[in-house]
Structure 1
């Protein structure tokens, strides 16, 4: 957003600069250059100061507590879940959970102005179950070493109290199952390329409707022999109502030894699910699908690992506010069937208009005539008499710039 504001200000400055009368160097060129250079110097100074503050914050040394020792780490080396010691007047590296304090009441005052900008002191209280963390850690370490050295009765976890249970789930987009069902009914084959493990890929395929309740999953994984892979493909070939699921190792063997057979079987499958794929392999599969099928390939992604795949596709669609949005032809809020209807209608209207426009030399006359009018107004009419030449430019040449870019 900040970069957008900077470009917007620069754009307005250039527009105003172009409307000033040419010939008076010291009346507008020098002040404009002075302001521009001064702004660049201020921004450079602020960036340098920000770099120094970041470097200082990242080089702070903290003590990390492990099961039987303590080690010194810089703040940039800390990870989520690390247990660290924070002393008085020491900067807090991140938003943390207070386990225990030296205070007998288990309380401590923290000021989080570096995190949220609030300079008020806040009273934090340690978790009751972990207030005696240091003593419990020593007891646990001793019991752990004893259990590790024993041949029998190695059980260690007993009389434990559950404090928290965390479950991570990627929420599906709204109406994604109806969208994929509409695409399949339109005769569009869907390939799902993911870096997740096979269990996650299968669950997503089921929850999104990529695999219907009447279909089965034919899993091919960990195959390094081309003959075994050929046998698996021959078994899958007659199963027209099964979804093909394979990993990157099996795909690598199929592309090297069973290239034609694999694509013949995969393209006849209702859907294909590929798991444990790297960004490079996603782009490679996209290129091979285009080459083998000679059809238009559309790829949708929402992460940085999908950039290569989207760039390799004929049509790339990225999720707005994600890294992949800048690398795609289209940026959308979500993948929905209404999106395909809208862009399909817009594309049809543009094609109808261009078909009528290309029936003659109207486009050439269109450009030449308006550029001629603009040149006459700019070079042969005094600006004090008629100063609307810029508005005329907006209403002629720049107004139809969209259609120029389409060519």
Structure 2
């Protein structure tokens, strides 16, 4: 080869050498390993070498790099910076890990722009939230984990969560994610599905979600229905917390559904046996039983003898002595013993007496008391509430008058 040809080939070779720039993606061939700390690579098409620290290689922590990568392997690298300077153009710091991270950022950006979600495992619990591995480091603030306050974040460690991309800034390695948005979307979808299925009259199971003074909210699966305090039990309930606990499984009957307002009215007591259905088995005429005074009226006292079952002690059956109102001798909430005079479960009526358990006054005193009685309270008492017919009551008064004659 002539000298002219040699110069020509050298000139063409020099002209074919690409210039290495920071940020460029280049191909590097592994030439050697230096002190088990970095790989020496030749940058193809440049005639210069670069170094790739082991931490910049895409190898899992703890793995032996020299067993994963061999001399002669060729892979893509990104130019991080220039180190040193010599006639051949110097050496360059290269990274395989950062190149792959750049690809991940590009993919995440595309998903962000398309409104898509990503899935990532939680790798670390830190102050203020969770760290996830999305190919790059992502962060979920504590306020964006669930749609309610979470006290212990450690329960999420190791879990893979579906996440919405809230903020992305590759140049600052900032990726802010939210699981709360996913939870809310799932809850709304589940709520709509549940509301569409529910109908008045359905009997379903749910879990007590929260308690208030006026009732209990029961989770039916994405929808919370209200059991008003009056629908918890047949007996009077002062506070829902007296008989229910948060998290308790309960059976409820659907009273009404309003899909537009997302309101569901429920009843627990309507899933329970009707109290009056068991009265004839537990109570018979002539029985002496204990009860609680629930209400006092002008014509008598209503006494609860079984949960949800009240009987009437007419004012004439409270005492042998004349009383103007039941309040004179009874108080609401008082425990008393009564004798059963009549039982009519089908009419939800129970006639009771207190004076039947008391000793009668002597005959003279009885006549005097009877003479002083007025029949106004008897005449005004509603027949369906007393457990006695008006004829019975008037008959008793006539009999007393005959006795006096």
Q: Same fold (TM over 0.5)?
A: no
Q: Which has the higher strand share?
A: 2
Report which of the two structures shows the higher radius of gyration computed on alpha carbons.
Answer: 2
TM-score range, shorter chain: under 0.3
